[in-house]
Amino acid sequence: MEDMILYDRLQFAFTITFHYIFPQLTMGLSLLIVFFKWKFLRTTVEKYNKAAKFFMKIFAINFTMGVVTGIPMEFQFGTNWAKFSELTGGIIGQTLAMEGMFSFFLESSFLALFIFGEKLMGQKLHFLTAFLVFLGSWASGWFILATNAWMQHPVGYEILENGKYVLNNFSAIFGNPWLIPSFLHNQMASVVTSSFVVAAIGAFYILRNKQVEYGKLFLKTGVVFGLIASLLVAFPTGDWNAKNVAKYQPAAFAAMEGIFETEEAGAEIVLVGQPNMVEKKLDNKIAVPNILSFLTYQEWDKQIPGMDQFEAEELPDNIPALYYSYHIMVGLGTIFIGIMALALFMMWRKKLFTFKPLLWSIMFLLPFPYIANITGWYTAELGRQPYLVYGLLKTSEGVSPTVSSGNTLFTLMGFIALYMLLGILFLVLVGKTVNEGPNTQKH
């Protein structure tokens, strides 16, 4: 049974990790495309229009890959997690269906109109299609996050005699106190990813001395959007999320912060340390006293429960993975703020385009927003364990009893092989698009 649960979780973790490479770019990139198109309407400078169409090509490749890799996850609800689907389908099925019916069709329909309909519609309607693509992509995130928020903090439900969960208050699922903070945090994080992608492409063009005009435009745009989004990821959205975890999932909060024992005079914030699960402590710890209590409750001496205050079965089942995921996310987010602040300062000094060490840094930082986004999701999902629906349904109670661990392991290997091929195809298509550049776009 333990092997079956492990392989089910590994398979879903792998498929959703690979899938989220794509929507985290499309959600943020759709906002920047709207910005470029808006700039074109205001100025009639053609480079802004070409920039919008260039990034919409990259958006379309990501969108297609996102659809292809998202479909298997829907099937896994019925194959590997049939009991979970049976018990909670009356709730999560509604939000997932709304995501498919409203958001996906809105996004895909107007994506096609943007790509093929510019001459037929004129520029104002063309801008409208870009805005509706943006609206569809963010609405998709809203419905997915509404589903996840209910799993993190279930509200507005009742349990029938047969054990199934049903909604008794439909509006509660969208008024969930977990939803808005997680949605805003997620969307700002996706803007960080897209900003770094745009800035990295701009730095690449400048360093290669190729399509330098567009390189400067992309770099400036990516830096400004990237700094604003990086700051918003940290505060208020990140702070708001952390306070929610402290309030609704205190055991997860203690684990992700590395608080093994409750401190009487306020909790310290750990900068560096490695969880020692044998001795129940952090090794090689560097911490600042009382800061965590102040950040969480605005009181220097406020007590925060440590992991010693909870039963072992209520603690996350992989504390080191949760701890490291959280600290990688926070650490990378801090680096992003520093790099983008330095880039904005150099732009103000009119030295950004000639300061090659910073250009190389921005270009090689490209993978790290993806890592930060994924470790952020790992933090949320590992923190919810050992529950599928926090406080109600254990992970061990949601697996499919008739699917063997061998079947799951075999299909996991198949997914790994197939997704490697998809990943190579994706890199080739995006690489070709970037190499051609926006200057090849037709008027």
Q: What is the pLDDT of residues 208-236, one digit of tens each?
A: 999 999 999 999 999 999 999 999 999 99
Across 97-248, where does the E strand assignment appear? Answer: 157-159, 165-167
pLDDT of residue 1: 59
DSSP annotation of 235 reads I
Give bridge partners of residue 209 from the DSSP assignment. Answer: none
The pLDDT value recorded for residue 287 is: 93
Residue 441 is predicted with a pLDDT of 54
Q: Can you tell me the distance from the alpha carbon of 441 to that of 443, in angstroms, rounded to the nearest whole number?
A: 7
Measure Cα distances from 72 to 106, 190, 278 in Å.
Answer: 21, 22, 38
Please report the pLDDT score of residue 101 as a whole number.
81
The residue to which tokens 């385009």 are assigned: 353
Burial of 267 (0-12, 13-18, 19+ CB in 10 A): buried
Classify each residue of 89-109 as buried b or exposed e, where b means 16 or more C-beta atoms within 10 Å of its C-beta: bebbebbbebbeeebbebbee
Could you tell me which residues are beta bridge partners of residue 283?
A: 274
Strand 393-394 relative to strand 269-276, pairing: unpaired
Q: Which residues of the chain have pLDDT under 70?
A: 1, 440-443
**What is the distance between the alpha carbons of residues 33 and 302, in angstroms, rounded to a whole number?**
45
Cis before residue 236, ω within 30 degrees of 0? yes
Alpha carbon distances (Å) from 156 to 169, 171, 251, 362: 5, 8, 23, 45
Burial 351-373 (b: 16+ CB within 10 A, else e): ebbeeeebbebbbebbebbbebb
pTM equals 0.95
3-state helix, strand, coil in the chain (%, to 5): 75, 5, 20
Q: What's the pLDDT at 63?
A: 95
What single letter denotes the amino acid at residue 314?
E
Residue 397's nearest CA partner among 105, 87, 161 is 87
